[in-house]
Structure 1
Amino acid sequence: MTYQGRWDRRTALRAMAALAGVATAAPLLGEPATAQASPGGDADALFKAGHFEQAGHAYEEILKKDPGNVHAARRRGYVGLLSNNFPDAEKYLKTAIALAPGDREAHRFLADCYTRQDKFALAAPHWQGADYQAYATLFAAFRGQPYEIHGDTGRAPFRQLDPIPQVEASLNGGPLKRFSFYTRVDSLGVSAKAAEEAGLRAVAKEKVEYLGKTFWFYYGILDSFALGGIELRNIPVRWSDGDSGEQSDDGMIGTWILYHFLTTIDYAGRSLILRRRTPETARKARAEAERAGAQPLPLWLAQEHLLFSRGSVAGSPGVVAVNLGGTGEAVAAMPQETAKRLRVRVDEDRPMETAAGGQAVTVYPCYPKEVRLGNAVARDAYCYAGAPSGPGREGFEQLAHLSHSFYKPFHVTLDFTGMSIHVARGPAS
C-alpha cells in the first residue's frame, strides 16, 4: 500500500522489489516531494486542486500573453497527458522543449506520451533527455510493433485474493506462472528465475538502492506474454538480481499492460478481464456498468502509470489515487492533516512502523465515516493516517489513496480511451 503518490520511478522500482519479496512486505509510504517555485498564479492553484480542465484553459490564457512561458507550456501539455489527449500533450510539450531544450520534466512527459502510444522510437530520445538512460536504451532497442495483441478477450481467474491478487500467465510459451498486478508499477516485472527460464537477455540495466542494499534492475524485450486467452508480443520487461527466493509469485503486471486494454479488475468475481480497446467494447462496458448502477468517473493517468479519479472522504470531495492490486488490509490511506481537517477518528495510541524511501515512518489507524468512489462506498472502515499533506511529484493534491481492500465487493472497469472508470458492486457479467 502506498500513501501520498509521491513516488518517482526509482521508488516504484523499490515497491516492485518489495512486493516481489526483495524487501519488507509492510505498506510503503510515499517519498517527500521537492517543492519547486513556479509562475502561473491561478492556473497553478487550479491544477494543484485537481481542476485540470479549468487549469488547462488558464495555462492557455497565460501562453496567449506570454508565448515563451515554459512552465505554462509544460503544464498545459501535462494536462493533456493526464487525460490521454495526445495531440494536445504533444503540441504543448514540444513547445516547452523548443523553449527549453534541457527541460527534463518536459522530456519525461513527452517520452511518456509517445510510450503510451507505442511509439517507442520517438520516446527513446526523450527518455534520454529526461536522464532515464535505461529506458532510452530499452526503447531504442525495439524493432517491429510493441504490444502486439493476439485475441479479443482474456479472462484470468484469481488464484488467490489475499494478501495480493494473483493470476496465471505464460512467458515465451512456457508453463503457467503466478503473477500479481499493481497499478503503482509501470512495465511487466518478472523474477530473476522466471527471466532465466524464459531466456531473457538484458539490453539495459540500472542500479537502485533500497533499505541500505544495492540492487540491479535489468531491462529486456519479452517475445510473448499470454494470460486468460490474450497474448501480447514484443513487450518491455524487467527483472532484478535481488530476489530473496521467498517471493510468492513469479512477477508483477503493471499499468503499461493494463492500459493496452479495456481492463476490468473483478474483485468480487475474482478475475482479471482484458478486452481489446474498441468503440464496441467500450459501449458494452458502459452499458454493463449502467445496468450495475455504476456512474462514469474521470480517469487520470499520471507519472507514466499512476491512476487517479475523483472521490470523497467523510463527505469531502477531491482527487483520490486508484491503487488496484497490491497488498493492504486498510481500505484507504490519507495524510494526518487530512484526517484532522475532516475530523476523522485517529487512534494515536496504536502507532505502526512502515517504510518510506528506505526510512522508518510512523502511521496510525483511522476510521472515516465514509470513503467513496462514485457509488462504491466503505463506511467506518479501517484506514491509515500518517503522511504529510501537499502535492507530490504529480503536482496536485490527493485526498486519499484507495487500496486493495476497498475494492473487494466491486468490479472496476478502466476505459483508457474515454478515460473513465466505472466501479460497480458484485461480479462482472
Structure 2
Amino acid sequence: MADDGNWGRRSVLRGAAVVAGAAAATPLLGKAATARAGVGDADADALFKAGKFEQAGRAYEEILKTDPANLHAARRRGHVGLLANQFPDAEKYLTMALRLAPDDKDANYFLADCYIRQDKFALSAPHWRSIGEEAYATWFAAIRGEAYQVHGDIARVPFQQMDPMPLVEVSVNGGPPKRFTFYTGAPNLSMRASVAKEAGLSPVASQKIEYEGGTIWAHYGVLDSFKLGGIELRNVPVGWSSTESGDDTDTDSDGMIGTWVFYHLLTTFDYAGRSLILRPRTPGTARKVRADAARAGVEPLPLWLAREQYVHSRGGIAGSGPRVVGVNLGGKGGESAAVVFGETAEQLRIRTDYDRPIGTFAQSHPAVTYPCYPKEIRLGDAVAKEVYCEANPNAALAPFGFDAPAAFSHCFHKPYNVTLDFTGMNLYIARGKAT
C-alpha cells in the first residue's frame, strides 16, 4: 500500500490460498487522498520515508499543534503508532483523521487493522465495509467471544521438512495430524478446502475471485481448535479457498500459518534447531526472552508490523548502513537469502547478473529477478557475506510509505533462531539452536 493516495489492497486470496507467498499484496490504486501534504509536512515525510519513525511521529504531532485539520499529518501519525503496535496513539490519530475525512481509505484501512490486532473484530467491521471489503466485514462481525484463546505453556514443534518450505504437524479441530507450512508474508491461518470440510467448517462469508485466468472462491470462518504440539488455540479466524467445483486450489501443504497467529504468541523460529517454539505472549515470557538474550549478548532489534502481516526490523545491505528491511520467515524459500528492491542494487553497486533473468512471482504476479551478490547483508549481528540474493528492479522500494531496500528470506535464517516479541515489539536473532 502506498500511503496517502495509492491504497493497496491485501492479496485477493486473503491468505485463504495455501500457496506459499500467495498472500502478499496486490496493488489497487485508490482515489487521491482528500487532503494534500501541507507546509511543514515534507520534513516529517522525509523522516518517515527514511524509517525514522519516532522522529517522524514527533514531527507530525508538531504539525498538528498548529494545523489540527491536517489530514495527512493525522493519518501518518496514526500509521506511525500502528507500525509499533502503539494502539492508543494509533486509534487517537486515525480517529482524528476520520473526523476530518470519514471516507478516507487509508485511515479506515489502518484503523481496521489496528482493531483486528487487538481482537476488536466487531469494531473493525464498519471500517472494512467503508473501503469495500464486505467479506472481511462480514467475517469479523461474525466472531463471537474471545478469539485466539491460548492454552498450554510451551510447544516445540519440529520441522517435518525444511525445503522447499518448512512443514510442521498440527491438529485441526482435534483431527489427525496435518502438515502445515508457515509464512509471515501471509495474514490469517488458512487451509485447503478438503481440510476445512474434514474439520466441519462452514463459511460465514465467501467471495468469488478471478485469479490467474480462472475463478476461485475464498471462504472465511472460525475454527474451534488449532493445536501445535503443547499449545492449543481456540476460536481462531480461518480462511480456505476452493475451485468452482469445491476442489482444493493447492496441494503443496495442508495449510498455512500466518502472522496473525504468531502475533498472539511469543514465537521462536528456530531454523538452526529445525523447530517452532511457541509460548503464550505475556509480559513474563517477554521478560524471560529479554533476559536470555542479554545473557547471550544478543541485542534486541526493533520490530515493526506493516499492513496486517509484514514483519520489518533494522538491517543493512552492502554497506548501506542501518535501514528498515523486511523479515520474511517461512514460505517457499529457494536459494536466495534476500530480495533487493528497486534501484538499490544499482545504487549500492551490487554485482548483478542481468544476463540470467529469473522468471518468478512476486506478490502474486509474474516478475523477473536477477542473481546478485552483495558483499554483506546484515540483520543485527547476523551476517551473510557474498551470499546469493536476487534483485527485483521493478519492485517498489516503499510500498508501505517508507523505504525498505531489501527483504531477508528463509535461506538467510537457516544458521539462526529468530524470536518475535510482539509485547515489547522486539526481534531477537542469534546463531545456533535456541536454548
Q: Smaller-chain TM-score range? A: over 0.9
Amino acid at match of 1:320: V
The Cα offsets for residues 299-318 of structure 1, whole Å up to 9 and x where unpaired, read as 00010111101100012131
Whole-Å separation in 2 of the counterparts to 1:28 and 1:121? 23
Whole-Å separation in 1 of the counterparts to 2:99 and 2:133? 20
Q: Which residue of 2 aligns with 1:162?
A: 163
Whole-Å separation in 1 of the counterparts to 2:261 and 2:134? 22
The alpha carbon displacement at 1:13 in A equals 2.5
Q: Which residue of 2 aligns with 1:386?
A: 392
The alpha carbon displacement at 1:292 in A equals 3.3
Whole-Å separation in 1 of the counterparts to 2:325 and 2:182? 19
Whole-Å separation in 2 of the counterparts to 1:29 and 1:245? 17
Q: Which residue of 1 aligns with 2:329?
A: 324
Whole-Å separation in 2 of the counterparts to 1:428 and 1:324? 16
1:368 aligns with 2:366: no
The Cα offsets for residues 322-355 of structure 1, whole Å up to 9 and x where unpaired, read as 1000112200001251011111100111111113
* Regions of 4+ moved over 6 Å: 27-30
Q: Which residue of 1 aligns with 2:89?
A: 88
Whole-Å separation in 1 of the counterparts to 2:218 and 2:28? 24
Q: Could you tell me whether the CA contact under 8 Å between 1:14 and 1:210 is conserved in 2?
A: no
Normalising by structure 1, we get a TM-score of 0.92
Q: Which residue of 2 aligns with 1:13?
A: 13
The Cα offsets for residues 119-152 of structure 1, whole Å up to 9 and x where unpaired, read as 1121112222232111110111111111111112
1:400 aligns with 2:401: no
Helix, strand or coil at the partner of 1:41: helix
The Cα offsets for residues 282-312 of structure 1, whole Å up to 9 and x where unpaired, read as 1211122233332110000010111101100
Whole-Å separation in 2 of the counterparts to 1:125 and 1:271? 39
Q: Which residue of 2 aligns with 1:3?
A: none
Helix, strand or coil at the partner of 1:13: coil
Whole-Å separation in 1 of the counterparts to 2:272 and 2:364? 34
CA distance change for structure 1 residues 172 and 28 in 2, over 3 Å: closer, same or farther? closer
1:99 aligns with 2:100: yes
Whole-Å separation in 2 of the counterparts to 1:381 and 1:260? 33
Q: Could you tell me whether the CA contact under 8 Å between 2:170 and 2:179 is conserved in 1?
A: yes
Helix, strand or coil at the partner of 2:13: helix
Q: Which residue of 1 aligns with 2:301?
A: 297
The alpha carbon displacement at 1:361 in A equals 2.4
CA distance change for structure 1 residues 321 and 7 in 2, over 3 Å: closer, same or farther? farther
Q: Could you tell me whether the CA contact under 8 Å between 2:338 and 2:389 is conserved in 1?
A: yes
Q: Which residue of 1 aligns with 2:154?
A: 153
Structure 2 residue ranges without an equivalent (≥5): 1-5
Normalising by structure 2, we get a TM-score of 0.91
Helix, strand or coil at the partner of 2:11: helix
Whole-Å separation in 1 of the counterparts to 2:99 and 2:115? 17
Structure 1 residue ranges without an equivalent (≥5): 1-5
Whole-Å separation in 2 of the counterparts to 1:110 and 1:275? 28
Q: Could you tell me whether the CA contact under 8 Å between 1:7 and 1:31 is conserved in 2?
A: no
CA distance change for structure 1 residues 285 and 356 in 2, over 3 Å: closer, same or farther? closer
Within the candidate set 410, 413, 425, 1:419 is matched to: 425
Helix, strand or coil at the partner of 2:207: strand
Amino acid at match of 1:306: Y
CA distance change for structure 1 residues 29 and 382 in 2, over 3 Å: closer, same or farther? farther
Identity of aligned residues (%): 60
Q: How many residues align?
A: 419
CA distance change for structure 1 residues 315 and 160 in 2, over 3 Å: closer, same or farther? same
Q: How does 1:134-213 map to 2 (within 5 A)?
A: 134-213=135-214
Q: RMSD between aligned alpha carbons?
A: 2.2
1:265 aligns with 2:266: no
The alpha carbon displacement at 1:153 in A equals 1.3
The alpha carbon displacement at 1:209 in A equals 2.6
The Cα offsets for residues 383-415 of structure 1, whole Å up to 9 and x where unpaired, read as 000233654441111110100000000000001
1:44 aligns with 2:45: yes
1:335 aligns with 2:341: yes
Amino acid at match of 2:110: F
Q: Which residue of 1 aligns with 2:3?
A: none
Q: Which residue of 1 aligns with 2:311?
A: 307
The alpha carbon displacement at 1:230 in A equals 0.7
Whole-Å separation in 2 of the counterparts to 1:371 and 1:282? 27
Q: Could you tell me whether the CA contact under 8 Å between 2:182 and 2:257 is conserved in 1?
A: yes
